[in-house]
Amino acid sequence: MLIPRQHAPELAVDTLAGMRFRLSEDAPERLTLLCFYRGLHCPICAAYLKELERLTPAFAERGVSTIAISSDTEERARAMAEKIGAANLRIGFGLSLADARQWGLYVSASRGKTSIGIEEPALFSEPGLFLIRPDRTVYYLSVQSMPFVRPHFAEMLQALDFVIKNDYPARGEHVGPIAAP
């Protein structure tokens, strides 16, 4: 299980820009936003990533770099990028399911074609959203077992304004014993 204020696992994926994204080499002013998405087959992911694409410049203004990552092939990732009009948002592809598990992501098996007529991969990871500090410690994480009810990026921007202004620490870090009532 990933714990706030502890080191995140290394992460390396190819991107549509033809470069390799390595979390250990990403150098944002404040945070890296990792948005793991299900893949091209997911219409909810497309709407979610479209919003992240629209707000990526606002994240950048706050010193936050963004990347959306899936276990899709390059071809499917490129189709998603076209679907959402990606111009600002980095798109990573080829996430191994072993790496997805290291990040605490849930893995689902294919149920065939989705409501938009696109075949699901045999296995794929479910969504997760992470904010990682430049020292590679986890600041925030949210992992879903379903495609529904994800954190809102506009609310996250408002929260980041508060976090930056108040130097607010990562929470949920306690791993010690808890006394019984």
> Which residue type does 132 have?
I
In a domain, 65, yes or no: yes
Q: What is the pLDDT of residue 110?
A: 95
Residue 61 belongs to a domain with what CATH number? 3.40.30.10
In a domain, 83, yes or no: yes
In a domain, 9, yes or no: no
Per-residue model confidence as pLDDT tens digits over 113-131: 988 999 999 999 999 999 9
The β-bridge relationship of strands 107-109 and 138-143 is unpaired
Residue 181 has pLDDT above 90, yes or no: no
In a domain, 8, yes or no: no
Please report where in the chains the tokens 């990732």 appear, as a residue: 77
Q: What is the pLDDT of residue 111?
A: 93
Instruction: Count the domains in the chain.
Output: 1
In a domain, 73, yes or no: yes
Contacts of 37 (CB under 8 A, 6+ apart): 45, 48, 49, 68, 69, 70, 80, 127
Nearest to 127 by CA among 112, 155, 108: 108
Q: Strand, coil or helix: what is 30? A: coil
Tell me the mean pLDDT in the region 4-21. Answer: 98
In a domain, 34, yes or no: yes
Contacts of 117 (CB under 8 A, 6+ apart): none
Q: What is the pLDDT of residue 99?
A: 98
In angstroms, how far apart are the furthest CA atoms of the chain?
55
In a domain, 177, yes or no: no
Q: What is the pLDDT of residue 180?
A: 87
C-beta of residue 166 within 8 angstroms of C-beta of residue 99: no
Range from 31-35, 122-126, 177-181 carrying the lowest mean pLDDT = 177-181
In a domain, 42, yes or no: yes
The span from the CA of 137 to the CA of 4, in Å, is: 7
Domain of 100, in residue numbers: 27-166
